[in-house]
Amino acid sequence: MKKKWINVSIGLSLLVFGAVYLGKKTGLLEDDSHL
């Protein structure tokens, strides 16, 4: 049961990281000035 939650948390963090990466790449999130 505990291992399942670890996998879920890892999956969610990867999903968030991917979303942020795609947002930065496509220019949806412009917190940096194109460094």
Distance of CA 21 to the CA centre of its chain: 6
Q: Collect contacts of 19-27 with beta carbons under 8 A, ≥24 apart.
A: none
Give the pLDDT of residue 29. Answer: 60
Give the pLDDT of residue 20. Answer: 85
Structure tokens at 12: 């969610």
Query: How many angstroms separate the most distant Cα atoms in the chain?
Result: 44
pTM: 0.57
Give the pLDDT of residue 25. Answer: 81
Q: Could you report the per-residue pLDDT of 1-35, keeping only the tens digit for each? A: 789 999 999 999 999 999 888 888 877 666 655 54
